[in-house]
């Protein structure tokens, strides 16, 4: 196995860029860890997420897990720019637990193959179990091959064949599964432990809490007891308001879990202090501000298809709580904005007296408009009346006594009656 190339901070020759400024500006992010692989030429490039502080002599590249996520930073390394001496990139990220998890990625002289070595705390002695190895092999047997024996200092070594990765959607699925190999290992180990919940076998350290770190800085403990397995989640939050919202959620969780309707669900409890099972653990693991949430998993919760759901729920409990807290904060903000509009409206709303005044004014205007209309029509009528009188004078020049009355009564021109019903006074 050939060594990889050393990448200097000043000029990373393997991709021909001067990335020192870029690299120094980026902080180490010891959170998730995973790999996404792409290789230029076959449509795949190597993708890394963050870089540590880079010294002059070597670079530490920290890869970021995207288990279930799709966010990652892309960096393309051209194989043609690689120097003749191959560099060895040691990938490590400390997660704050006792044993550091190490990843080792080495690109061999053959660009087709890449070797990935993983070192992870084991839940039992004797290395990875057969079940875990089967789960890893089940990722994609064409692309991922387990090399035995594993590299010294590591529990598992994989050989990745990029040429066999199909293109487009299938390829992306395989890449996602490969990058989630850590999650597969932890979930298979937890699954195996839960499957043996009723087993009478007692192995060394059976009653001791086993620390699992699915997400960095968020460890949880698994304690094997007769007929059940207890999982304890120490909860930590950055903000005091998050602590309060989460505590309210844990109380509701405890209330719902203890009700008769949910008797089949695992009993759940919350306590502000560490449970007695965790005595002896490190202080940094037990210092929390959100208390401790415990679930008692029995055999009924791991039968058949429930096993996968149970494992998934336990491994993603932290994510579920954090998402609930975040969405509750958003809900509170939306509600406050909506209420603000209502409160301001009260201040600017007209009072009932003003409304009456306005309505009265409107009637007055209407009345005035009507009067205006009447005056115009009157003017027009007067003009027509004058004209008709003139015509009459011209026509009726011969005066006959008494004829005027007769004419006024019977020979009167028709007049349009007004809507107001006014009678003209003579």
Partner 1 sequence: MANTLRLYLTCIRNTLEAAMCLQNFPCQEVERHNKPEVELKTSPELLLNPVVICRNEAEKCLIETSINSLRISLKVKQADELENILTKKFLRFLSMRAEAFQVLRRKPVQCLRLSNVPLACEKTLGYDISFLITNYHCEEMQKHKLIDFIVQFMEDIDKEISELKMSVNTRGRLVATEFLKQFI
Closest distance to partner 1 from the beta carbon of 335 (Å): 6
Q: What number of chain residues touch partner 1 (CB under 8 A)?
A: 42
Closest distance to partner 1 from the beta carbon of 320 (Å): 6
Q: Which stretch binds partner 1 (CB under 8 A): 132-140, 188-196, 306-314, 360-368?
A: 306-314
Residue 52: how many CA atoms within 13 Å on its side-chain side? 17
Distances (CA, A) of 93 to 24, 29, 90, 104: 17, 8, 10, 11
| Site residues (CB under 8 A) for partner 1, limited to 326-355 | 327-328, 331-333, 335-336, 339-340, 342-344, 346-347, 351
Q: How many CB atoms lie within 10 A of CB 396?
A: 13
Closest distance to partner 1 from the beta carbon of 267 (Å): 10
Q: How many residues does the chain have?
A: 426
Q: Which residues, other chains included, contact 270 with Cβ-Cβ below 8 Å and sequence gap of 6+?
A: 247, 250, 251, 253, 254, 291, 292, 293, 294
Closest distance to partner 1 from the beta carbon of 373 (Å): 37
**Under rule CB under 8 A, residue 227 binds partner 1:** no
Report the residue number, 82 or 194, with the smaller CB distance to partner 1: 194
**Under rule CB under 8 A, residue 324 binds partner 1:** yes
Q: Which stretch binds partner 1 (CB under 8 A): 88-96, 198-206, 311-319, 417-425?
A: 311-319
Find tokens 């409206």 and name the residue: 345
Measured CA to CA, the distance from residue 96 to residue 152 in angstroms comes to 23
With 0-12 / 13-18 / 19 or more C-beta atoms within 10 angstroms meaning exposed / middle / buried, residue 300 is: exposed
Tokens of 7: 């990448």
User: What is the helix (H) or strand (E) element at residue 215, kind and residue range?
Assistant: strand 210-215
Closest distance to partner 1 from the beta carbon of 327 (Å): 8
Tokens of 385: 């009346």
Q: Which of 131, 203, 262, 406 binds partner 1 (CB under 8 A)?
A: 262
Measured CA to CA, the distance from residue 249 to residue 255 in angstroms comes to 10
Measured CA to CA, the distance from residue 80 to residue 77 in angstroms comes to 9
| Site residues (CB under 8 A) for partner 1, limited to 232-261 | 240-241, 244-245, 247-249, 251-253, 255-257
**Under rule CB under 8 A, residue 155 binds partner 1:** no
CB contact at 8 A, 360 and 352: no
Closest distance to partner 1 from the beta carbon of 255 (Å): 8
Which chain residues interact with partner 1 by CB under 8 A? 240-241, 244-245, 247-249, 251-253, 255-257, 262, 264-266, 268, 301, 306, 309-310, 312-313, 317, 320, 324, 327-328, 331-333, 335-336, 339-340, 342-344, 346-347, 351
């Amino acid at each position: 196995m050939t060594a990889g190339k050393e990448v200097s901070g000043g000029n990373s020759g393997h991709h021909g860029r001067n990335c020192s400024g870029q690299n120094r500006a980026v902080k180490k992010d010891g959170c998730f860890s995973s790999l996404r692989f792409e290789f230029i030429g076959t449509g795949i490039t190597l993708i890394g997420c963050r870089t540590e502080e880079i010294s002059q002599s070597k670079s530490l590249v920290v890869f970021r897990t995207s288990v279930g996520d799709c966010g990652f930073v892309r960096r393309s390394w051209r194989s043609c720019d690689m120097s003749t001496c191959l560099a060895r990139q040691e990938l490590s990220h400390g997660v704050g637990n006792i044993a550091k998890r190490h990843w080792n990625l080495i690109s061999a002289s053959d660009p087709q193959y890449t070797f990935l070595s993983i070192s992870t705390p084991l839940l039992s002695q004797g290395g990875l179990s057969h079940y875990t190895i089967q789960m890893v092999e089940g990722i994609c047997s064409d692309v991922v091959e387990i090399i035995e024996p594993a590299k010294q200092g590591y529990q598992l070594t994989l050989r990745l064949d990029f040429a066999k990765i199909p293109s487009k959607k299938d390829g992306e699925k395989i890449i996602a599964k490969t990058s989630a190999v850590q999650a597969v290992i932890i979930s298979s180990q937890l699954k195996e432990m839960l499957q043996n919940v009723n087993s009478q076998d007692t192995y060394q350290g059976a009653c001791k809490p086993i620390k699992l770190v699915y997400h960095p800085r968020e460890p949880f403990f698994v304690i094997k007891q007769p007929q059940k397995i207890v999982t304890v989640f120490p909860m930590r939050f950055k903000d005091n308001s998050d602590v309060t919202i989460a505590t309210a959620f844990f109380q509701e969780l405890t209330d719902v879990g203890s009700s008769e309707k949910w008797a089949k669900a695992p009993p759940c409890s919350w306590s502000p202090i560490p449970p007695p099972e965790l005595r002896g653990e490190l202080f940094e693991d037990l210092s929390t501000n959100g208390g401790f949430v415990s679930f008692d998993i029995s055999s009924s919760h791991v039968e058949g298809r429930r096993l996968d759901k149970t494992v998934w729920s336990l491994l993603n409990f932290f994510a579920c709580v954090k998402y609930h807290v975040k969405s509750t904060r958003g809900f509170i903000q939306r509600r406050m904005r909506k209420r603000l509009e209502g409160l301001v409206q009260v201040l600017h709303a007209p009072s009932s007296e003003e409304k009456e005044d306005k309505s009265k004014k409107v009637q007055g205007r209407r009345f005035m408009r009507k009067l205006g209309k009447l005056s115009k029509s009157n003017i027009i009528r007067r003009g027509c009346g004058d004209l008709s009188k003139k015509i009459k004078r011209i026509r009726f020049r011969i005066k006959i006594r008494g004829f005027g009355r007769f004419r006024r009564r019977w020979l009167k021109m028709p007049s349009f009656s007004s809507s107001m019903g006014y009678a003209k006074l003579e």
